[in-house]
Structure 1
Amino acid sequence: MMNHSYHDERTPGALERQAYAWVRQVAAGKMTRADGLALKHWCTENPAHAAAFTEARRRWQQLGQASELVLARNPAAMQAEAAPRSRVSSPARRAFLGGAVCATAATAAVVVFRPPLNLWPSFAELNADYRTAIGEQRTLALSDNVNVELNTRTSIAVKSGRAGVAGIDLIAGEAAVDIVNANEVFVVAAGAGRSAAQNARFEVRAGANGVCVTCLQGRVQVSHTAGRVTLAAREQLVYDDKTLGNIASIDPAAVSAWREGSLRFSETPLAEVVEEINRYRPGRVVLLDKKMAARAVTGRFRLDALDKALAQIQRSLGLQISNLPGGVVLLS
């Protein structure tokens, strides 16, 4: 757990340094639940703390967005990879801590990418009962009748009922639920909907574009502000805050490939493949050539060998691949 001292907050810049220290720890994916509670307490005990954290987070995100733009417009910035790390880390760190985006384009691009981008947990995620890190998967036996498997970057809160565990709140990520003749209905709440079953196998994934519910076995009732539907085996639907999508047939083997340690794609646009791979590996894969975004990818790739998968994709589509520090891979 991070040891944050408050005795020097009157020193100019001390509060800012504390906020940036929290920012770096969160962005690096090293927060435990205890750290999350400590951060929440630090932000709520003084409005100045919350303001400092919000500003540090905003600048960090801006640096990440700016660095992607720099790399897209100036591929020569990749040459910074060859520079000794000691030459770029200290000036960039001073520029970041000082709150000024004044490093060179190449230095900023390399250093900003070192912590994983787009991995900013909300307070709800930090206070979840269970969380998985990048590439981590975890199986939980919530009762004698219910097992829940958490995919990468997943956060859940467990809800209790009269006879034990009544369900979970899926805060972020993806969970597979296996229920065998439970005494009570087990409910997965995600976004604006709730998925309930007593004897079924189903998966729920919460992402930026909505929530996807897939029934693999049995029947799952999905309740939403826009209506209620029942999914049978091999059926799937997607909903967002306002609408409940149509039921579609799916291939269970493809949908649940992650539970077997792999990803399967069939004529999937490259942009979607890159987005999916980014969920499972530290760093970030950046597709610089947007004209290639719609190119179709078909294949099965091991989750423990995603860099090999990227090499295969690069060869099959005739792309250029460049590796930067911090697990950053540029496809062009």
Structure 2
Amino acid sequence: MSLKIFYGLISICGLNTTFANALREKGFDTKSVSFLKHYFEKSDIDFDINQFTKHEKIAIRQKIFEEHKDHYDIFHFFFAHTFLYDQKDLIYLSSKGKKLFMHHNGTDVRRPSVLEKFNPYARLMYKDFLVNEDEVVKYIKNCAEWIPVSIVQDLELAEYVQPFYDYVEILPLPIDLRLDKYSIENYDYEPITSTRKRRLKIIHAPTNRTFKGTDYIVDAIKKVCLKRNDIEFILIENQNHNDFLKELAKGDIIIDHLLYGAYGMLSIEAMALKKPVITYINDFVKKGYPHDLPIISATIDNLEKVIDQLIDDKEKMIYAGEQGRKYVEEYHDLEKAVLPRLIDIYEKYC
């Protein structure tokens, strides 16, 4: 199978660049484009379109569309965004027999009215945000009218798009474990042992404090600190990706979030670095994960207890870190797990 594949137009966790670069290494003709600011590896074409006027944005989008519309066989879009605001580009691409895929990633499809059916913390996630669900559904329908296949990372996101697309495929988030930055041995880190005594660093790195439940995490940490002086809490925000990983590598325990109910890229990167991860995994989404998921699930009601118990059980910390690395190698490794699955998806519909 030798196809020309376009990835764009938003970099979500660097997926467009990751896929384009990896398949290019295998001989595919690929191009990645990102036109919104992000902290990940730069795409082949990478700029912030928001620096331009509305009229200029329309012209830029049209230009990028014209330059790429006839060259590629597959167009793999992300986050409900295509080339043109009115999505008339999809009509053209479909008429030319191009194979179209929409990779939904989270807030582009997440609707509180659906989320609250299986996540008791849905209202807390959206307490500060008003979601126009009619608009979300409108965008999904516009995509699904011309794009038959949606790609998502887990059962939660599948729940939002299944009523609209002809086909929904689950593709785990990828991590390129060949890169030195994902090996803890390449960082100046003093590993935890069952006997070594030192202050433990607990790290939380929110991209959105409300969605991640940061206030609840900070409150739990404060309560733990009232009882013991053997921990240090570090909050990481607004760093480029490589600097972020350097900080993450210093941590002994990583707390991802308490509200989503699923795990994302932060948890995967932390597990790759052999860190025990605490996050909230709800029962509905858990059914779609491999049985050996090593993440330690916690809620806003028991996080303090979970932290206390984990700190006192160094063997559990070590085991969770080791199993996390194995889990990522088995299910999220770009080369061994995710890329073969992605190629299978393309072959299935092409």
TM norm. shorter chain > 0.5:
no
Q: From the CA coordinates, give the structure whose radius of gyration is larger.
A: 1
TM-score by length of 2: 0.27
Structure that is richer in helix per residue: 2
The answer to which structure, 1 or 2, has the higher relative contact order (CA under 8 A, 6+ apart) is 2
